[in-house]
Each structure stands twice: as structure tokens, then as C-alpha cells.
Amino acid sequence: MLSSLLSSAQLAPPLEEAAGEALAGELAATAGWRPYPRSLAAVAGALFFIGRRGREKRLCVLWPAGLEPALAGDFHGERTQAAVGGLPIVIQAGPLDHANASGLRVHLQFTAPRLVGTRAAFGAGDRLGLATPAHVQALRGLGLAAIFAQQSVREMSRTGRTPEQVLDSATFGVLEQGWREGYGADADHLKTIEDADATAAAGFTMFTVDPGDHVDGVPGGESAARAKFEALPWGELETTSEDMRRAYVGRTFRLPGDLQIGFDDSTLVAAAVKYGRALAHTAAMYRHLAGVMGRRPFELEMSVDETDSPTTAAEHLFVARELRRLGVRWVSLAPRFVGRFEKGVDYLGDLGEFERCFAEHVAVARRLGPYKISIHSGSDKFSIYPIAARLAGGLVHLKTAGTSYLEALRAVARAAPALFREVLDFAIARYPEDRASYHVSADPGEVPTPESLADDELPGVLDHFHARQVLHVTFGSVVGAEDAGRPRLRDRLLETLADNEEAHYEAVAKHIERHARPFAEGREGLSPEEGDGDDR
């Protein structure tokens, strides 16, 4: 079997489960590293796999002794010799570092991120750099486009990770689980040119521009609003106040589903004052990215979800028309929805009102794109998933992040109760400060105290509204805290999760699949060519 795999110049198809298990067993017995069976992949005279020994994982590259492939020079590690089925081999076991990840993305192209288009997409953030294999397990067979590398600059800063590390951990996770269906890499909530440059250089394929700092949600009275309207950066918007009025005032825009949106002067002024500067910033970021990326294709999302007031259908239509006029091409847009999308808990609001407003947003996206409606802070919003899936069909992108971290803590609570108690106690103390940059309403006084719970009650803390939010927003403090005289919380968490890897993967995969399954139906969406762009 090994000889036939190594004889193929092209990427060999994935091994059947039984064959993969058999070869993995042979390699474990002779090479010293136990392969993850799904990770076995052969190309150009070399066999790649992720191998494990104790807590340690390595990228292993294997070839016949005396026949070193040309690609071997793109990887590094310690070489040993062995024999498998009578075939003398060389096996090189290298660290899961940036150099080896870069080589993988060149030679095993399914490990490199790519565009996902307008297919229904699921974004799975990974704050600890361990969860991609579980995310793959959750999404396998559902037909959704996967975004396995997804992290905001804010999260990277708080966890001490770089854009390269975020992408590299997704690369190794994709190989470990043998995911060959492609995945995207989303540089989330970008606010500055510098952040865009760093994530572009790392190899991200999707850029979510967050112009929230430029949104004016408090226009003031009518006279103040009109003054702000006239003071907009018309040069950057490449139009004039008079031309904009001619384009909107007195017009009615017809949308799918017999919806109509009419603009009078007040409607236009309110939309332009609220989002005009955000549009200018988004267009500038888009053009900068286009220059930085050169011939590399990329996808753009505009996100205004982290603002104070909901995005109306008229405001959404205004934003989409102006983006198009400015020459911006985008694949998804994240409005600020009605209700409250707080971290780590279900939707808080009137579901009937959400359904009515979401239908309007989808209608705008179908008419002016089509593009996807992106749902940020999408973790654990189980009550809205059936509504969003039914109304949007394939034109939807759900983003999750902290919920995978919470499920990792659930696995820790089961495996290492004392460590979880320490994390919970530390999180309660940190919450008043860490909550400042998040939309949350948890009361730390309502969180069960660690000493009040028996060991078998600790996993249930992750089902508690207040505890979930406290643990969710304190992740940066937990994984970055320095512990006097003992190993850091982060190190002990990673060791515990490594020792209980299957339980960790199972907890995360089960929870993520519950998020994704409602979107599996109607997932194909529309192609960009199917939108006529008719806004008359």
C-alpha cells in the first residue's frame, strides 16, 4: 500500500477508513509517531501526516530511503530511518510551526485557504488554536462553506497570537482531519490599514472591514442632522450632496417579496449621516487591500454589527447602493440586527420582529447582490437559526468564536475539576474590567461560586447564562495571565486538553454541529451572476 501511494506524482485520493487505520498502525509500530489516519496524504513521492507521541504532535514527511523528493527541502525536522512492510523509509518529524505550515499550503493545496463565494458559510473561530479538528468533524457532510481560520485583531491581541499562527493552526487542523473541501480564512473586524496589511501578508483570503468607529448613531435634531449631512466627506464619497439627493429623494425601491422602500429627504439624511463616513472608510480599506493583494483574489465583508442602533432596511439599501457606486465588491454584509446579540447566549428580543426585519435585509441582499447576510456574535443563538436559514437560504454566513472556547472549558471541567474551579474564580474577578468592550449583561454575583459546587456539577456551569458570559469575555485574561510560582493557566489548560483530546473534540464538535445543522438545507445560495442589480 505504501509503495503505491508513494509512486503517484499527483495528490493521491484519501484512503478508505479501514486502509487508513491499517497504514497508521504500521507506521505507529515502526516510525514512532502515531498518525491521525485521516491525515495521511501522498503527493510527489512523499507521504504526509500529523503524528502524535504523548502530548506532542509533529508534521511527518516520509519517503523511500535513497529517493528524497524535491519538496523535502520545503520542510524541516528530525530525520530517522525505519522500514514499513519491508520498504526502507526516511521519516522527517518537524514542529507545527509557520515554516512547515507554509510548505504544506504549497504542496498540499487543500490545506491552503481559498475563496468561498456566496455559498452558505460557517465561521468557526478558534481562540486556543486547538479546535479546527473538532470544527471539521462538526461540518463534515453538511455541505456548508467552512471558514476555519477566523479571528479578529482584538482576539489575537488578547490571546497573544499572530495572524500567521491563526492560519497555521487551521492548516494543521485541516490536514489532521483530512478535510479536502476547501476553507476560507477570515481576518475579522479589521479597523485599520495596518491590521489589513498584517493579515494580508499572513495569507488570509477574506477581510471583514469594521467601520463601526465611523458610524454616527446620534445625528441629533433635524437641523443638526442636515448640517452633518452637508459636512460629510463628499470628496471621499465621490459625489455631492445635491447628486445624492437626486439619486434617492422621492424614489421608491422595489425588492423581492413585494417589499418597497421609499426615500424622502429625512430618510436619506439619516442614512447618509449614520453611514456616510463608514462607507468612505470601507471603500478606502477595499482599495488598499486590492493594491496589497495584487493578483491574489480576495473577498470582502462589511460589518456594522457592533454599533448602538439597528440597521434599518432603508439604511441597508443605502449602504449597498453606495458601496456599489464606489466600486467596492463584497461577498457579505453584517447589519446591526434588532434585539440583542450578546456573547455566549441565545438571542434576546422579539422573534417576530427579528423575522420581519431579517426578511427585509435578505430582500435587499438579493436585489443588490446577491450577497450573504452575515450574522456576527452568532454563537448560541439557537432560536433564530431556523428563521435565518428559512429566509436566507444559501445567502447567509454565521460567525462563531467564543463558544468553542467555552466547550473546551466544559471538557476541562470534566477532566480537571480543580483547574476549572481556578479558571472560574479568576474569570469572576476579571469580568468587571474585561466586559468593557463587549455587549453583555451578565451579573457576576449570579455566577455559582466554585466552592459551592460538587465536581460533577461543574460542567453544568457552562449552561448558566451569567457564567457563560463571564467565562466568554474573560478569555484573554485567562490565557494571558501570569501565575506567580506556578505554570500559567493557559499552559495547564492546553496540557489538560491535550491529555483529553477526544473528549475535547467531542464536546466542541457536538456543540458546533448544533449551530450548523439548521443551515445545511438550501445551502447552495445564488451565484453573483444571478443578481440583476435592478433597484428601480
Of 177, 186, 170, the closest CA to residue 138 belongs to: 177
Active site residue 258: no
Measured between alpha carbons, how far is 39 from 12 in angstroms, rounded to an integer? 12
Measured between alpha carbons, how far is 466 from 459 in angstroms, rounded to an integer? 14
**What are the grid coordinates assigned to 62, written together?**
516520509
The C-alpha torsion from 95 through 200 and 403 to 431, rounded to 10°, is 100
**What are the grid coordinates assigned to 504, written together?**
475535547
Backbone angles phi, psi at 83, to 5 degrees: -140, 135
Q: Which of 168, 188, 342, 380 is catalytic?
A: 188
Cβ burial, residue 308 (10 Å; 0-12/13-18/19+): exposed
The length of the chain, given as a count of residues = 536
Q: Which of 186, 301, 322, 513 is catalytic?
A: 301
User: Is the Cβ–Cβ distance between 256 and 263 less than 8 Å?
Assistant: no
Measured between alpha carbons, how far is 488 from 379 in angstroms, rounded to an integer? 27
Active site residue 502: no
Residue 442 identity (one-letter amino acid)? A
Residue 129's Cβ-side half-sphere holds a number of Cα atoms within 13 Å equal to 23
Measured between alpha carbons, how far is 227 from 269 in angstroms, rounded to an integer? 10
Specify the 3-state DSSP secondary structure of 63: strand
**What are the grid coordinates assigned to 293, written together?**
493583494
Q: Please name the residue that has the C-alpha cell 480564512.
A: 185
**What are the grid coordinates assigned to 503, written together?**
473528549
Instruction: Kindly list the distances between the CA atom of residue 179 and the CA atoms of 109, 111, 137, 382, 429, in Å, as whole numbers in the listed order.
Output: 11, 8, 9, 26, 40
User: Is the Cβ–Cβ distance between 335 and 361 less than 8 Å?
Assistant: yes
- What residues are labeled active site? 188, 301
